[in-house]
Amino acid sequence: MSSVYPDPDQPEPVDHFDRLPDSVLLLVFNKIGDVKALGRCCVVSRRFHSLVPQVENVVVRVDCVISDDDCSSSSSSSDKSRALVGPFSNLFRLVFGGIVKPLQALGQFLGPKRSVLNETLNSLSSSSLFVAPGVGDDGEMDHGGVTHHSPTQVLRNFNEIRFLRIELPSGELGIDDGVLLKWRADFGSTLDNCVILGAASVINNGISPEFGVGNGDDNGSIPETFYTNGGLKLRVVWTISSLIAASARHYLLQPIIADHKTLDSLVLTDADGQGVLCMNRDQLEELRVKPLSASSASKRTLVPALNMRLWYAPYLELPDGFVLKGATLVAIRPSEQSASKNEVSDASWLSNAFEGPYGTAAKMLVKRRTYCLEMNSF
């Protein structure tokens, strides 16, 4: 048997990648962002393993929704797995559990059609969220041969996160096909503001009309049929449901915010683009200094008393050929805050809440007649 030895006279091959400084590698890792991809980078080399925890830009995509029944059967074989479910693992149960009660209380007010939504929420109220394999040696839960981690546990492996984006697999609110419902909420220790855009249906005309309202005799007022055909009742459901979904997301972010004091921006969204919760550095620090007030009814942040402004168009044509039927925009601020703020319709946060055609729709709606509403804390 013969052995092959390196020629001592030949210089060792140079790995040019190793010549890159750490700062350049961190730029690459920050461009990657995805927590699972970064987890794979960790196992490439000791150098990568030491650099990944220094990444400042992290994206966590929640991959799966598992019923609590399945979770309990899996976790019964491991106390550790049960302990590592974490705050996000029960997100759907907490959010939907909180929404069902207000909707059931409105049951007779909304009529039999809305009971379908109640059934949908009940059917989804026992689900849990997990992130597929990524960074971290603990925080595991084995389900169907696949190891899952809670986002809170995964993120504890990062020391210097500044920009964090968490994406849920779908929006929490079950809505009928063709219905448009989007919301964006900003929080500190409590709700700072929320914008909701909805439409009973979205139609693509396939043409680009001279966009506008589309009704020649429309004067910006809400028609009487809006109150008699259930239009107002439906908007009440949209508003309450969106606020509860936002406050439940906010409540569950507490441990992540406490663990990562370097955060400058935190966004919690979903793959459907239904809802976006945002917190900037000042709002994050406010939550650390001033603990949130929790709702006594469920595990979510207490929604304060609110002032709301509503804009409505029966028929809204957008420049790209889309038509929103029953287009509605609701701008929400806490009552205490509204007294010291400029008019909601003049605020930049309202016009910039949505992107693309939805942003265009919001800008068109705020030019119409404004209707004011109030809501008590819940």
pLDDT one-digit tens code per residue, 332-352: 999 987 555 555 445 567 778
Burial of 179 (0-12, 13-18, 19+ CB in 10 A): middle
| pLDDT value of residue 336 | 85
DSSP character string of 152-216 = HHHHTT-S---EEEEEESS-SS---TT-EEEEEEEESSSEEEEEEEEESEEEE-SS----S---T
DSSP alpha helix (H) spans, the chain: 22-32, 35-42, 46-51, 68-75, 79-83, 86-89, 91-105, 107-110, 115-123, 151-155, 225-228, 231-252, 254-259, 281-289, 335-338, 348-351, 356-365
Residue with tokens 């939907």: 96
Out of 34-43, 207-216, 289-298, 343-352, least confident range:
207-216
Q: What is the CA radius of gyration of the chain?
A: 24
Looking at per-residue confidence, does 298 or 269 come out higher? 269
Per-residue model confidence as pLDDT tens digits over 20-36: 899 999 999 999 999 99
- pTM for the full model? 0.75
128 pLDDT higher than 70: no
| Predicted pLDDT of residue 64 | 60
pLDDT band for position 169 (cuts 50, 70, 90): confident
Q: Where are the domains of the chain?
A: 15-54, 170-207+219-373
- Res 94 pLDDT > 60: no
Arithmetic mean of pLDDT, 270-293: 93
Nearest-angstrom CA–CA distance, 322 and 307: 30
C-alpha dist (Å) from residue 222 to 180, 183, 311: 19, 22, 8
pLDDT of residue 220: 64
- What is the band of 293 on the pLDDT scale with cuts at 50, 70, 90? confident
pLDDT at residue 109 is higher than 90: no
The arithmetic mean of pLDDT across residues 184-197, rounded, is: 96
| Whether the predicted pLDDT of 2 surpasses 80 | no
Mean pLDDT over residues 238-245, rounded?
Answer: 94
